[in-house]
Every structure is written in C-alpha cells, then in structure tokens.
Structure 1
Amino acid sequence: MPSSDTYNGACHCGAVQFKVTLKGGLESARRCTCSYCSMRGAVAVTSALDGLSFTKGKDLLTLYQFNTKSAEHYFCPTCGIYTHHKRRSNPNEFGVNAACLEGVSPFDFAEVIVNNGVQHPNDDPNAPTVAGVLRFIKA
C-alpha cells in the first residue's frame, strides 16, 4: 500500500476519478452494520469534505439516500461502484471506498473496526459505537 495519505481513486470503469487526502490515513478504515453498508460491504476510509476533489466524472455521480436522508451515498451509474459517502455521524467527513484507491485493496487490512450502524449514535447515544472487528486472514 502507498505510504502517503493522498491517493488517486476511481470507480471500476474509470468514468469517475478523484484525488483524496485521508484524515488518519488508512488507519481510519471502517465498516458499518447499517442495512445499506451491510449489503454494500465496503471498507471506508476517512476524508475531510475539502480533502476530496474530482478530476473526472463528478457530474456523473448518482446519489442514494434512505431513512433519515442525512447520509449521502454516491456511486457511478455506469459500473455501479460506490465511491464515497457523506457521513450521517459526522457530516464534515466523507467515507471513501478504500477499494477505489490506487494501490489499495480491502484485503490489505488485517482488521477493520465495524461501527454499530444498526443502533446509530444519532438515534441512540447510549448504544455502543463499535459492533465488532472484521478480520481477514490470508490463506
């Protein structure tokens, strides 16, 4: 994996391309247990809102929102790949799909913290914030 905290990224077909600077680097990697993230299955890393800039295809992105419509989930309408989302838990941050980053694979992470999205902290401030840890063990 690259050592810098700035990465080039793209969707699968390359229609959407971006540059991102990560807050906390790759150590910010997380997953979530909410209904949408559970189905999406992506590992997201953290960027400030001004840390993400598009070099191609920003106008192509499709927005998906559900439930409270607080979070904004973006994906490429051509290949369907989720690129990033504006977080409900912190609207000053983007979660960026680690698999879209050049030189990074979700299988590079030995452990990824899984946030409790079923009992979202905005809905239940007393709920635990972490649901568990996802581990990848290479065969």
Structure 2
Amino acid sequence: MATWQLGLLLLVGAWALQSVGVWLQMRHYARTVKSIGSEFDEGFLGTGFVRGRFQKGTIALVVVSDDLVVRRVSTMTGRSVFAKFHSHPALAGLRLDRLEAALSDVEHFDAGRTAAILAAVAQIETRRQKRRQEDTGSHLLRLENA
C-alpha cells in the first residue's frame, strides 16, 4: 500500500473515532439536560458555553426556581469527548443575584467556567424577561376581552 493511501486511511479512521466521540458526548449532554428537566419541573434552565481556542472549553447548566433560588449548577470542562458534567452543590441555595459574587469565592473555578456560568445566568434573565412580557401581554388581552 502506498504511503498516501495509508495516510488517507489513518485520517479516515481518526475522523470516524472523532465522530463517535462527539456522538457519545452529545448523548451525555442530552441525558443530563433530560434528567434535570425531570428532576426540576418549575423554574428556569440556563445553558452557557465558552469555547477555548487555546484553553479548555466549558459548558454550564444552571437551574433556578421561580423565586430565583439556584437549585443546581453543573459544569463540563475539557478538551476531549471524555469530559463529563460535575455538580457544584456549594452554589445551590444561593439567590441568583448573589451567584456572581459567590463564583469569585470558589477556588477551583477558572475564568472559562465562571464565564460559562454567567452566560447561563444571562440566558435565564432573558427567558425571565420574555416570560414576564408574555404574562403581561396575556393579562392585557384578558382585560381587553372583559
């Protein structure tokens, strides 16, 4: 077999392994989100991610109740498809407005993990605003129809 054919075969093999790894990681992500959805039936789920060009990438999941109490914070950090979500129970029970200050007190949080959590919180705030607008709009419609 020619050298270029062997190189091409190795490249295809590496691509196939990467595809399987990405599929497994996406399945893990979907299972984690589904389990959070079944565990918490009220409130908001925010997801945030930070892509690292030369550092590790991070995905964060933040669950907040309707009264803005943090129920769960989970992060997945890594460069490979073998990264898994890790829960941070020290952050559970905090009010959402105090979460950012608490992140600076956690020793093992790097800038990427903090940024991903803050992105998830920003997504929660956006969803809260949207829900508030929808609730106000439906209230106005009820008043107009009365």
Bin of the TM-score, shorter chain as denominator length = under 0.3
The structure with the greater share of residues assigned to strand is: 1
The structure with the greater share of residues assigned to helix is: 2
- TM-score between the two structures when normalised by the length of structure 2: 0.22
Q: Relative CO higher for 1 or 2, CA cutoff 8 Å, sep ≥ 6?
A: 1
- TM-score between the two structures when normalised by the length of structure 1: 0.22
